[in-house]
Amino acid sequence: MAFDPVQEDCLRLILAAMEREGADPASDAAFIERASEAYRLDPATLIHTDRDRSFHLVAMATELADYRAPFAPSEAEAEQLFSQAEDYLREAVELDPRNWDAQRMLATMRSISDDALIDYLIENLPAVEDDLKTLIESAANPYEQEFAHDLGRRAHQRWLAALASRLLIAGRYRMALSYAERALDANPLDLAGARHTGMLALGKLEVEAEELRRFRSRHAAAYQDRASSRSGRLGGHRPDAWSLITEMSLAYRAFDFDRATALLQALMRSYSHPAQALYLQAEFPDGVFSRVHVQPGSDDELILALSEATPLLQEGMGTPDAASFAIWVAEHELVQTALTDQDRAMIAQVEGGGPIGGAR
């Protein structure tokens, strides 16, 4: 599960329309259906305030930066899409300076380093939290209360999740885990996927397997019915790709190759066509808005998990006497046997263009 910016934009605009027209947000299904259709045909018909327009621009910027630019046919076109997204975000901030999604996304696109972005996120977190507290305490009617209960909290959740993710990338694993825990405390259902960052941080900290189980058990609500693995259980729930990769990494580093192989087999059974992803281990750009939205249990989810697990996969990379975990995975018999002729043709094409993913 992840945040869908278009759906969120639609929900915000529908709730605002219900408040203007006095519709009951708990029972007027017909109004919601009409407003949803209006949004589908032309969102502008539902935009009435600067705050409405500001978040709509965030949704537009996300479409460009997170879902179109990474797949642009050329670097020049990707840069053009990022530039347009940045223009949208600048306008969003001008319309609503307290639009923390826009502020964070703009800072992300302009940051010169992970450390600089981390400093910005930590420095401004108190303001984000103060605004959320004010929003909750000042909610004076059912519409404001409904907004404060869910949609109004999401910018804070994304802020914490982004901070945890950047700390992981920067190698500050204990801090990454700490902010992932804060994000999970703020939203136990964890739409932002902070649990995955926390799991990877635990892997880098080389904790015992029991600590992984305690983490999942402590945050059981986030894992409830979300994972797609058909093998085994961890902390009362089926493990997801991030959990399996982390456990596999710990087993590999402990030289328990039988256990690591069993976990690799479990991971491969969880996805319909995993071999190419496990071989290539392509690094996917981080979402600017939040973790990109992929179908749970899909091969795209595995690609995303492998990309985020790069700090684990590259363990041992570059040492002459120890192959990296990434190469162990890519060259494992289970992966090699599962590669189809089509996979091998694609791999040859990608490798012909230079180094690939975590495995090379």
pLDDT in tens, 295-322: 888 999 999 999 999 999 987 654 445 5
pLDDT-derived band at 359 (thresholds 50, 70, 90) equals very low
Asked if residue 106 is part of any domain, the answer here is no
Give yes or no for a contact between 69 and 78, defined as CB atoms under 8 angstroms apart. yes
Give, in order, the Cα–Cα distances in Å from 98 to each of 58, 124, 276: 13, 11, 43
Q: Is residue 43 part of a domain?
A: no
Question: Within a 10 A sphere around the Cβ of 155, how many other Cβ atoms?
Answer: 21
Give residue 317's pLDDT.
53
Tokens of 322: 């120890």
Among residues 230, 313, 232, which one has the least CA distance to residue 216? 232
- Give percent of the chain above pLDDT 70: 91
13 lies in some domain: no
- Give the CA distances from residue 126 to residues 14, 42, 129, 185, in Å, rounded to whole numbers and listed in that order: 29, 36, 5, 16
| Token couple for 193 | 């996927």
pLDDT in tens, 88-105: 999 999 999 999 999 999
Domain-embedded: residue 136: yes
pLDDT at site 229 = 37
**Overall number of domains in the chain:** 1
**Structural domain of residue 131, as residue ranges?**
111-224
Residue 26 has pLDDT above 90, yes or no: no
Neighbours of 112 (CB within 10 A): 7
The pLDDT, as a whole number, for residue 351 is 78
Q: How many CA atoms lie within 13 A of 83 on its CB side?
A: 6
Residue 161 lies in a domain: yes
The whole-number pLDDT of residue 239 equals 72
Across 273-296, average pLDDT:
92
Strand-pairing partners, residue 237, are 234
Is 263 a member of any domain? no
**Cα dihedral sign for 183, 119, 9, 61?**
negative
Q: Each residue of 214-257: pLDDT tens digit? A: 999 999 999 986 444 334 444 345 679 999 999 999 999 999 99
On the question of pLDDT at 346 being above 60, the answer is yes
Average pLDDT over residues 159-184: 97
Mean residue pLDDT across the chain: 91
In a 13 Å sphere around the CA of 53, the CA atoms on its Cβ side amount to 13
**Residues 6 or more apart in contact with residue 307 via CB below 8 angstroms:** 281, 282, 283, 284
Candidates 294, 235, 304, 244; CA nearest to 269 is: 244
What is the arithmetic mean of pLDDT over 121-143? 97
Is 336's pLDDT higher than 70? yes
Mean pLDDT of the region 141-152: 95
pTM: predicted TM-score of the whole model, two decimal places: 0.90
What is the total residue count of the chain? 360
Task: Quote the Cα angle for 269-3-156, to 5°.
Answer: 125
**Residue 108 token pair:** 């992300």
Tell whether 190 is covered by a domain.
yes
pLDDT higher than 80, residue 355: no
Take residue 147 and report the two structure tokens written for it. 């907004």
State residue 322's pLDDT score.
54
pLDDT at residue 272 in the model: 93
Decide if 237 is inside a domain: no
